[in-house]
Structure 1
């Protein structure tokens, strides 16, 4: 059963009760990474294996995401600065226990590549918060694998 989450802004990324932060350097340039995140939303399942379907809504100001296993999200984009940051807030989900959720992808040049930092900021019931902290290693692996796949996917588009 889907339920509406508390509307929070980008500042929630720094204040959320549960903050999981992961980072990795990839060889792709920031503009290419940003393009895959923000402009090619339907391409997410090709590089982020947990995502089974993704599409932009409301002329790019929203997203609908479905994860493998059936979890669904209706999201609002809260930050979109090309080659720098892409963030979205979950407005509606069928995931139990969550009350607020923002994901932020922050990009920074690193040599000829990009430092990609993903912050997963959430609030929820005590059981949800405990479960998310326990899920940290799995989310970290999912992030590393996804960003590695994304970098490989982008490799052919920015090769000299």
Structure 2
């Protein structure tokens, strides 16, 4: 059983004020309702590609503010709690525990909007590393940003193949 490290809670303000904010915008060849359905499905992001290796909702449906889930990206695991849930158009959450002591605060925001015959998917990742990781994270931020960007690109491939 992994050891868990507590993170500080985050909110909508943190999505703009975090020391590191990564923004991704992608066009998906699917209607917004299809993208939304995928985001809140049992498999969610884990069905988009290899980046998210597992995802388990730990709250009962219907989902909303306060919903929790566990997500794994290879050996990295996090517990997430949703602080915004706008049915059909997006949600935001923060990580409240992780199995590695890398972050002080970590939050994400997902938005789904009509874009012609498809969907505009906007994703924000907001990160504040723990003190000892500030400098290494600043140096590695471009690599970290590219790594997270794979998930948004995985979504493009996933919906293009449907």
Same fold, TM-score > 0.5, yes or no: yes
- Tell me the residue number matched to 1:4: 6
Pick the aligned partner of 2:83 from 57, 68, 78.
78
Distance 1:101 1:82 in 2: 22
Shift of 1:75: 0.7
Pick the aligned partner of 1:23 from 25, 47, 51.
25
RMSD of aligned Cα (Å): 2.3
Q: Deviations over 1:56-99 (max 9, x none)?
A: 1122411111111x111111011121332221110010122301
Whether contact under 8 Å (2:77, 2:98) holds in the other structure is yes
Q: Deviations over 1:9-67 (max 9, x none)?
A: 22211111211111111221222112211x21424222142211101112241111111
- Tell me the residue number matched to 1:65: 71
| SS of alignment partner, residue 28 of structure 1 | coil
- Gap regions ≥5 residues in structure 1: none
TM-score by length of 2: 0.80
Pick the aligned partner of 1:112 from 108, 117, 124.
117
Which moves more between the two structures, 55-64 or 44-53? 44-53
Shift of 1:135: 4.4
How many aligned residue pairs are there? 155
TM-score by length of 1: 0.81
